[in-house]
A and B are shown apart, each in its own frame.
Chain A
Amino acid sequence: MSSIGTGYDLSASTFSPDGRVFQVEYAMKAVENSSTAIGIRCKDGVVFGVEKLVLSKLYEEGSNKRIFNIDRHIGMAVAGLLADARSLAEVAREESSNFRSNYGHDIPLKHLSDRVAMYVHAYTLYSAVRPFGCSFILGSYDKDDGPQLYMVDPSGISYGYWGCAIGKAKQAAKTEIEKLQMKDMTCRELVKEVAKIIYIVHDEVKDKAFELELSWVGEVTNGRHELVPKDVREEAEKYAKDSLEEEDDSDEDNM
């Protein structure tokens, strides 16, 4: 659904006659151009998976990470303009650090998500600044409140989810996520499924090489957000690749 908002789309401080702020919609398009990131909440934690496209063989492995640590217990996966995302990660870190300093305990994820969403929203009000061109998914785990997952988009709204996807293949990823019974799965089971989904939605033709970034926070990590350990990641990638081959084989049989 593309429409040209000629004349009403030059600044975020202008509404179009049909009540839209085009700059914000264009910012969301920037997110749709980026590669996919997904976050899924299961019974005892949250798992993030990011399809990080590698544009050149000269890049050092692991550079330009798209999963950030916001606080010990909160992780953030991003899609869109990476520079904008980094700046928002810094904002989120300051918010949670200030909260701990003022109130003596970890910031609840809903509150952090509301605060960062308010910040993102502020940039959609004025013509002097442009909206942030990134969406991000925040996840945390607390032993009393359980796992939580929130997504914030460039318009400044935040939603709570059981599973969500952002980026170019978000529709395909959402379809795959809906097939999962995430409420009954543990993090260890989920990590393999997340890897599989990223492999499924990755477009081999248009984008060649990619790195899979996986992270989790849950009972398995004692409430700390961490990148998934090497052995678990390798097991998950192997499961993902094997599942894809099986599907290819079964396609051949059907023919």
Chain B
Amino acid sequence: MEKHCTDSRVKGVSTGTTILAAVFDGGVVIGSDSRASVGEEYVSSKTINKVIQVHDRIFCCIAGSLADAQAITKAAKFHLSFHSVQMESPPRVMAAASVLRDLCYKNREELQAGFMTAGWDKKNGPQVYVVALGGMLINQLVTIAGSGSTYIYGYIDAKYKPNMTKEECLQFATNALALAMGRDNASGGVAHLVVVTEKGVEHVVVPGDKLPKFHDE
């Protein structure tokens, strides 16, 4: 029987994971690994997609309990689609992040999932928002989360520059994910990357054997 616990070790299927989002000149790159694990040992899926589309130009990355994340994104998608029809225009990224934040905060006792919301809207261009576990919402240029993120804080701090080109940012994101997946037990599989710009959405999948290799691999 699964006992729900609120300390840092997550029970059930969790996305011990690495997720990141970064703003570049004209768009955002959102990326994640693809491993879902149960406890610290069993890999229940090698190819899970943690980058969920909640609207045409807005994506979410999920970390934490997979069930919670799917339930929340399902509710958020519905809410945003209705909101966008009422507004007669695509929703702002801030609106999507606020909807997720409300869902996380109002149900904070039961849930255990954190999000990054990233996307492009006409009013403010490319943006990245972090909705943490308890429901905090902040806007950042680059952000990482998940168990694998601890291994790449130094890399992000050293290598991220604002206003990179799309190619530079893609390379930066791929490297970051590869480094994290190389050191974190609970992250692995393929690297899923999504590039969102005004023109549209591009999916890039980098299989495990095509990831960049570093000095001791």
Contacts and interface: CB of A to CB of B under 8 A. Distances in A.
Nearest to B137: A104
Interface centre among A104, A108, A114 (most CB of B within 10 A): A104
Nearest to A110: B88
A223 B20 CA distance: 36
Contacts of B86: 111, 114
A102 B98 CA distance: 6
A103 B123 contact: no
- Is chain B's interface secondary structure helix, strand, loop, or mixed overall? helix
A144 interface: yes
A102 B94 contact: no
A35 B33 CA distance: 66
A111 B98 CA distance: 18
Contact of B99 (A102, A105, A111, A144): A102
A102 B102 CA distance: 7
Interface centre among A102, A114, A144 (most CB of B within 10 A): A102
Interface residues of B, number: 15
B97 interface: yes
Interface string B77-120: 00000010011100110110111001000000000000000000
A108 B92 CA distance: 12
A110 B89 CA distance: 12
A105 B94 contact: yes
Contacts of B83: 103
Interface centre among A105, A114, A144 (most CB of B within 10 A): A105
A108 B87 contact: yes
A143 to B, nearest CB: 10
Contacts of A102: 98-99, 102
A254 to B, nearest CB: 52
B76 to A, nearest CB: 12
A105 B87 contact: no
A104 B97 CA distance: 8
Contacts of B123: 105, 144
Interface string B148-188: 00000000000000000000000000000000000000000
B93 to A, nearest CB: 9
B114 to A, nearest CB: 18
Interface centre among A103, A108, A111, A114 (most CB of B within 10 A): A103
Nearest to A115: B86
A62 B95 CA distance: 39
A103 B97 CA distance: 8
A105 B83 CA distance: 13
Contacts of B95: 103-105
Nearest to A144: B123
A6 B87 CA distance: 42
Contact of A103 (B88, B99, B122): B99
Interface string A111-139: 10010000000000000000000000000
B138 to A, nearest CB: 12
Contacts of A108: 87
A227 B74 CA distance: 45
Interface of B: 83, 86-88, 91-92, 94-95, 97-99, 102, 122-123, 137
Given A104-B92, A105-B123, 11 more contacts: A102-B99, A102-B102, A103-B94, A103-B95, A104-B94, A104-B97, A105-B92, A108-B87, A110-B88, A114-B86, A144-B122
The 8 closest A-B pairs by CB, nearest first: A104-B98, A103-B95, A104-B94, A103-B98, A105-B94, A105-B92, A111-B87, A144-B123
14 contacts: A102-B98, A103-B91, A103-B99, A104-B94, A104-B95, A104-B97, A104-B137, A105-B95, A110-B88, A111-B86, A111-B87, A114-B86, A144-B122, A144-B123
